[in-house]
Structure 1
Amino acid sequence: MPIEIKELHIKINVNEGSKSAASPSSSESKDDDAIAECVEQVMKIIQRKKER
């Protein structure tokens, strides 16, 4: 018997004031790379759905 999930609750905590040990420029470039990769994957998924 399959399980159906009707609701999904996600809770996150964001600390805007915290500073990390890494330099800001390197972490920003890593974040930008990760975001660009995610956007690219989402666009590929959308294109595949349009082809169907």
Structure 2
Amino acid sequence: MPIEIKELHIKINVNEGSKPSAATSTQKSKDEDVVAECVAQVMKIIERKKER
């Protein structure tokens, strides 16, 4: 049975007064890699659905 996601809640915290550090930029690239992988997997699922 397929799972359908109807809502997606994203919560972030923003620190306006802080300066970005090297560790933050490293974390950002890791986060971007995770997001890119998720997008790729979703696109594969969509393509498989179209084939049916």
Aligned residues: 43
Please give the TM-score of this superposition, normalised by the length of structure 1. 0.62
CA RMSD of aligned residues (A): 2.8
1:3 is matched with none
Point out where structure 2 has 5 or more consecutive residues left out of the alignment: 1-5
2:12 is matched with 14
Point out where structure 1 has 5 or more consecutive residues left out of the alignment: 1-7
| 1:27 pairs with 2:5 | no
> What SS class does the counterpart of residue 23 from structure 1 fall into?
helix
Please give the TM-score of this superposition, normalised by the length of structure 2. 0.62
Instruction: Name the % identity.
Output: 53
Q: 1:28 is matched by which residue type in structure 2?
A: K
> What SS class does the counterpart of residue 50 from structure 1 fall into?
helix
Whole-angstrom distance in 2 between the partners of 1:29 and 1:35: 10
